[in-house]
Amino acid sequence: MPAELPRPILYSFRRCPYAMRARLALLLAGKKPGQDFELREVSLKAKPPELLERSAKATVPVLELTDGTVLAESIEIMQWALDLPSDQSTDQSIYQLAQLLLVQNDGPFKHHLDRFKYPDRYPGVDREHHGAAAVAILREWNLQLAKGWFLGDQPSWLDWAVLPFARQWRLADRDRFDRLTGLEHVRRWLQGFEEGPELAAVMAPPWAQRQAWRSPQWIYHLALAEDWRAAKACGEYRRSTRGLSLEQVGFIHASGAHQVEATFRRFYADAEAVLLLTIDPGCLDAPLRWEAAPDGGELFPHIYGPLPVGAVRLAEPFIPIPFGLAPVVP
């Protein structure tokens, strides 16, 4: 079984409202990044393979606990961090109201928000229609916020769960938001959040750098940056190994999770701009065979044909691990 992690890992994205929701919950629970959990920012255009392996959706946030349990929904993370009550709560009316408002935010409000803020992503949408529909929901919330917060005169988990989404609407059109009527309580509520210490804290470092990570689920190939640039231009990679083409060798050399470091030390240690390609075997068009090295030693993966660019989950600068220190392999 894999060894327990020294502390939980939160995969996040700074501006994503779902990810902000999770970070707020951890903050309110007194958990500090870099101390109580590791905070890793994810590039949504180049999602790290370890995230893909942890979550089928590969969306943020994802929290991996020390025992390997994976929480892949922002509300799950809030429930874990804040120990939120279940439907057995003594105050059923408050619980049901909170659930209704949460569903309204995560459903219709988020639907309209996305199409108002990012109309280019949704061809044919009427931006103004979705903006007005979102404002109608904000005005409903305005009535609910007359006492100060959603559930009364004190903030609750629900406020922290919804505030990042309301903030997104204002960021999409500040002037319009500030002029709209019937939102006085929403504006006061949101202003307190935007000027408060909680938002500043969850947007600040420390964001941990990715550590070396390998998984038996993938195979790996070391490539020179110039060769990978050429591959992206034509859609497929045709280098077998350093200095040799696929046509010359007949296959592309690759490595298993435990073989990358030795391959680098033997063939690429004096090279500049070396990339590590993380390859999904299930996306290969050519046969993949594990075959013995010429010296009759261990088996290595060989790809008997071009490597499609789409089969490469991630191409990142290779940073060698000091000899004797093993990479993270689940």
Q: Could you write out the DSSP letters of every residue in 46-103?
A: S--HHHHHH-SS--S-EEE-TTS-EE-SHHHHHHHHHT---TT-S-HHHHHHHHHHHH
Alpha carbon distance, N-terminus to C-terminus of the chain: 8
pLDDT of residue 1: 40
Residue 143 CB partners (closer than 8 Å, separation 6+): 185
Give the tens place of pLDDT for each residue, 73-112.
Answer: 999 999 999 988 765 555 788 889 999 999 999 999 999 9
CA atoms in the 13 A half-sphere facing the CB of 180: 22
Q: Checking DSSP bridges between strand 307-308 and strand 236-237, what pairing results, if any?
A: antiparallel
Helix axes 92-104, 127-144, angle to 10 degrees: 160
Give the tens place of pLDDT for each residue, 245-286.
Answer: 999 999 999 999 889 999 999 999 999 999 999 999 999 999
Confidence of residue 205 (pLDDT cuts 50, 70, 90): confident
Domains (ranges, CATH) in the chain?
9-82 (3.40.30.10), 92-203 (1.20.1050.10), 219-317 (3.20.170.20)
Give the tens place of pLDDT for each residue, 291-315.
Answer: 998 876 899 999 999 999 999 988 8
Greater model confidence, 295 or 131: 131
Confidence of residue 322 (pLDDT cuts 50, 70, 90): low
Give the tens place of pLDDT for each residue, 134-161.
Answer: 999 999 999 999 999 999 999 999 999 9
270: how many CB neighbours lie within 10 A of its CB?
5
- What is the pTM (predicted TM-score) of this model? 0.75
Percent of the chain with pLDDT over 90: 73
pLDDT greater than 50 at residue 18:
yes
pLDDT of residue 56: 80
Closest CA to 107 of 165, 194, 154: 165
Percent of the chain with pLDDT over 70: 93
Q: What is the DSSP string of 122-177?
A: STT--HHHHHHHHHHHHHHHHHHGGGSBTTBSS--HHHHHHHHHHHHHHHH-HHHH
Closest CA to 42 of 219, 198, 209: 209
